[in-house]
Chain A
Amino acid sequence: KQEVTQIPAALSVPEGENLVLNCSFTDSAIYNLQWFRQDPGKGLTSLLLIQSSQREQTSGRLNASLDKSSGRSTLYIAASQPGDSATYLCAVGNNNDMRFGAGTRLTVKP
């Protein structure tokens, strides 16, 4: 059974810092990995989708990497802003079965 872990559970940084969020998974036979953002009381917003054949994806200040062999993904956020404060979730997909981590709650202080 696929298990997805996100460490740390919470992170607080000052504005302007570059930061890395971590996601690890136990079964490397995956189709894709998706990073989401969730604001309090809201739904999930897709940030980046990495196919199993890819090593990384970039969107603006966000860069996500995937290392299937070691069961790890990282989400890099450059020059963090208070508006980046949210919970970040990673999800590992295998056909229709998508398994989520519990998330990292990020606070960026002005």
Chain B
Amino acid sequence: NAGVTQTPKFQVLKTGQSMTLQCAQDMNHNSMYWYRQDPGMGLRLIYYSASEGTTDKGEVPNGYNVSRLNKREFSLRLESAAPSQTSVYFCASSESPGNYEQYFGPGTRLTVT
């Protein structure tokens, strides 16, 4: 039981390049989330998927797209990376939307030069 896994752990991109961050959970959770964490700002929600087949914008969605591939997997895509997207990205999951505990992956540290 690995919980929430993320790949890659580290990535360096040049401005304008694209990439996809992968997230998978093995807890049979319905809801999945993508956050970014910047120094001194706490975590901010980028997108979430309340259940398989649905996705919704969070607090900071601009410059990102997501895909809920199946119940286990939720990917985050940067189409044209910008230095402002340098951050640590965390994926999380919960049993259902709303009043349930969220479980986090180890994070992806992304640098855009």
Asked, given contacts A31-B98, A95-B97, A96-B98, whether A43 binds B106 with beta carbons under 8 Å apart, the answer is yes
Query: What is the size category of the interface that chain B forms with chain A?
Result: 20 to 34
Identify the interface centre among B41, B42, B48, B92: most chain A CB within 10 Å of its CB.
B42
In the complex, the answer to whether A96 meets B56 with C-beta atoms within 8 Å is yes
Contact A43 B43 (CB under 8 A): no
- Cα of A103 to Cα of B101 in the assembled complex, Å: 18
Measured CA separation A42–B43 after assembly (Å) = 13
**B78 at the A/B interface (Cβ < 8 Å)?**
no
A93 interface hit (Cβ, 8 Å):
yes
Main secondary structure of the interface of A (DSSP, over half): strand
10 further A-B pairs in the complex, CB-CB below 8 A; given A98-B45, A99-B59: A34-B102, A36-B104, A44-B104, A46-B103, A51-B99, A91-B43, A91-B102, A95-B97, A96-B50, A101-B42
- Chain B interface (Cβ within 8 Å of chain A)? 4, 31, 33, 35, 40-45, 48, 50, 56, 58-59, 90, 92, 97-99, 101-107
Please name 28 pairs of A and B residues whose Cβ atoms are closer than 8 Å in the assembled complex, sorted by A.
A4-B42, A31-B98, A31-B99, A34-B102, A42-B106, A43-B105, A43-B106, A44-B90, A44-B92, A44-B104, A45-B104, A46-B102, A46-B104, A49-B101, A89-B42, A91-B43, A93-B99, A96-B31, A96-B33, A96-B48, A96-B50, A96-B56, A96-B58, A98-B45, A99-B59, A100-B42, A100-B43, A102-B41
The 8 A-B pairs of least Cβ separation, nearest first, read A100-B42, A44-B104, A100-B43, A43-B106, A102-B42, A43-B104, A31-B99, A49-B101
